[in-house]
Amino acid sequence: MAPVRLFDVRQVMFSRRWLWKHVAALVLLAICVGGAWWQWYRAGSPTGTLQNAGYALEWPLFAIFVVWAWFRMMQLEARQLAKPAEPVATAEPEPAPVVRPPVLVKAGSAAPADDDDQELARYNDYLARLAAEDD
C-alpha cells in the first residue's frame, strides 16, 4: 500500500467532485449535533427518560462515524490518485466459455448419461419415478 502524500489529499479535498461530499458531511454533522442537543434537553425535561440520555450519548458516536467515513473516503481516493497508471492491455479478450444446455428428462424415461456420471443418471431416474407416481 503506497503512502498517501499531503499533496494528493489536498488535490482531492479541493476538487469540484468533493464539494458535495464536504457539504453532505457538514449537514450530517449538524444533524448529529442537533440530535444530541435535543435528546440531552429532552432527558432533562420533566417527561424525559434515561432512554433520552442514552440517545444524547449516541448521537456523538454517529458524528464520529461521519468524520471517519469522510476522512477514509478522501484517503482512499488520494491513494487511487497516487497509484501509477496501469498500461492498457492490447491482447484479445479470452473467448467466452461454452455453456451446454441442460438435458431435460421426461417422466418414465431414462436420462442420457455420460459413463462417468452414473450417480446423476440414478438421481434423474428417481425423479422420473416420482413424477410418474404423482400423475
pLDDT higher for 89 or 117? Answer: 117
Q: What is the pLDDT of residues 32-77, one digit of tens each?
A: 999 999 999 999 999 889 999 999 999 999 999 999 999 898 888 8
HSE-CB of 15 using CA atoms within 13 angstroms: 14
Q: Confidence class of residue 26 from pLDDT cuts 50, 70 and 90?
A: very high
pLDDT higher for 68 or 118? Answer: 68
Across 23-27, 44-48, 116-120, least confident range: 116-120
DSSP 57-115: HHHHHHHHHHHHHHHHHHHHHHHHHHSPPPPPP-SPPPPPPP-PPPPP--TTS-----T
- The residue ranges of every structural domain in the chain are 6-82, 103-135
- Identify the pLDDT of residue 53: 92
Tell whether the model's pLDDT for residue 16 goes beyond 70: yes
The DSSP letter of residue 117 is: -
Q: What is the pLDDT of residues 92-114, one digit of tens each?
A: 777 777 777 776 666 666 555 55
Per-position b or e across 95-118, b if 16+ CB within 10 A of its CB: eeeeeeeeeebeeeeebebeeeee
CA distance 76 to 82: 10
Residue type, 107: A
